[in-house]
Amino acid sequence: MKHLLSTEDLSRDDAVELLDEAARFEQALAGREVRKLPTLRGRTVMTVFYENSTRTRVSFEVAGKWMSADVINVSASSSSVSKGESLRDTAKTLRAAGADALIVRHPASGAAAQIARWTNDGTDLPDLAPGQEQPTSTGPSVINAGDGTHEHPTQALLDAYTLRAKFGSLDGRRITIVGDVLHSRVARSNAHLLSTLGAEVTLVAPPTLLPTGVATWPVRVSTELDAELPGSDAVMMLRVQAERMNGGFFPSAREYSARYGLNDDRRALLPEEALILHPGPMLRGMEIGFNVADAPQSVVLDQVRAGVHVRMAVLFRLLASGGADAPAHHQSTG
């Protein structure tokens, strides 16, 4: 695997291998005071974020550092992007500066895939001498850390990891994803990945917050949250993405919260063992009740912890898997 751009590209075997690898990293580091593996020593990983982030950027940075990579953070506001540099020039500049991996968040759907093409298609390489072979893929690996309303594949992987840690297998598990599906890259990535892993996924949203193409997704769709909760093994609440709504949305915030918010009364409709997930950042009092996020069934912070191990697994798979140091990759240097 060269890039991670979409969960639609992952077979069940790919996904299971990544989740197993993440579990091995978690085991290898459990209880250690010094969390440092030699796996990516000498490799350079750059996070390139054109949108704000806490969880994704920090956990990629932690993952890279725990694997001894050199991690460099580039943000649009503090780089030459703010002087008008194009996305293509920035990407090619970072490649020339030595990036082995670019972890990209951008408001435009498809941006990460476009960067993968610009930095890997070979068209910017110098002319080859007669008889010299064109290298097939010399550019950095690109990881999509959220592209517009399209995909957020490592979020879905960490969600699957969290669910698998509690349930064992996802086969036949009923996962209900609730809220602003229209603007959610998390919903799309999870719909595909959780289905690939055997879960039965139901999307619950007001009709105005469902994408037109949802009929092609491997999911069932409902508008009635109260009817879906009693049969759910897990409920994943989505953030209402005001930044993609041009100032307003329908239904109103008050109506949305009343019909689709996971408040204490609705939490009581869930089976006792059901899990509550949220990718964060949470809008408490909007899509999730103030106390519900901290309820015993909530695994919100487990999701964050899983994010580090899953991102270690992704970096390992793209940068080190099969490499010379692969057999030793779980041995600590500390």
Piece in contact with ligand CP (CB under 6 A), picked from 19-27, 194-202, 216-224, 278-286: 278-286
Q: How far apart are the C-alpha atoms of 146 and 55, rounded to whole Å? A: 12
- Residue 330 labeled ligand binder: no
230 binds ligand CP (CB under 6 A): no
Beta bridge partners of 70: 44
CB count within 10 Å of CB 158 equals 30
Select the residue interacting with ligand CP from 155, 202, 232, 298 (CB under 6 A): 155
| Residue 115 contacts residue 143 (beta carbons within 8 Å) | no
Q: CB of 52: closest distance to ligand CP in angstroms?
A: 7
243 binds ligand CP (CB under 6 A): no
Q: In terms of CB distance, is 55 or 166 closer to ligand CP?
A: 55
The kind and range of the H/E element at 243 are none
CA R_g for the chain = 20
Beta bridge partners of 144: 104
298 binds ligand CP (CB under 6 A): no
244 binds ligand CP (CB under 6 A): no
Q: In terms of CB distance, is 139 or 307 closer to ligand CP?
A: 307
53 binds ligand CP (CB under 6 A): yes
Q: In terms of CB distance, is 140 or 280 closer to ligand CP?
A: 280
280 binds ligand CP (CB under 6 A): yes
Helix axis angle, 87-96 relative to 111-120, nearest 10°? 50
Which parts of 112-239 are beta strand (E)? 141-147, 174-178, 200-204, 220-222, 234-237
Q: CB of 239: closest distance to ligand CP in angstroms?
A: 8
281 binds ligand CP (CB under 6 A): yes
Among 305, 311, 317, 318, which residue's Cα sits nearest to residue 60?
A: 311
73 binds ligand CP (CB under 6 A): no
Q: CB of 87: closest distance to ligand CP in angstroms?
A: 19
Instruction: Tokens for 225, please give them.
Output: 């949250």
179 binds ligand CP (CB under 6 A): no
Q: In terms of CB distance, is 72 or 282 closer to ligand CP?
A: 282
Q: What string of DSSP letters covers 60-92?
A: HHHHHHHTT-EEEEEEGGGSGGGGT--HHHHHH
- Residue 247 labeled ligand binder: no
The kind and range of the H/E element at 26 are helix 12-29
Select the residue interacting with ligand CP from 54, 80, 252, 291 (CB under 6 A): 54
Q: How far apart are the C-alpha atoms of 101 and 318, rounded to whole Å? A: 8
Instruction: Tokens for 254, please give them.
Output: 């008050």
56 binds ligand CP (CB under 6 A): yes
75 binds ligand CP (CB under 6 A): no
- Residue 239 labeled ligand binder: yes
- Residue 152 labeled ligand binder: yes
Q: How far apart are the C-alpha atoms of 260 and 286, rounded to whole Å? A: 9
305 binds ligand CP (CB under 6 A): no
- Residue 305 labeled ligand binder: no
Q: Which residues contact 279 (CB under 8 A, 6 or more apart)?
A: 55, 152, 155, 159, 186, 236, 238, 239, 303
55 binds ligand CP (CB under 6 A): yes
Residues making up the binding site: 55-56, 83, 105, 152, 155, 185, 239, 280-281
Binding site as annotated, residues for carbamoyl phosphate? 55-56, 105, 152, 155, 280-281
Residues that bind ligand CP (CB under 6 A): 53-56, 146, 155, 279-281
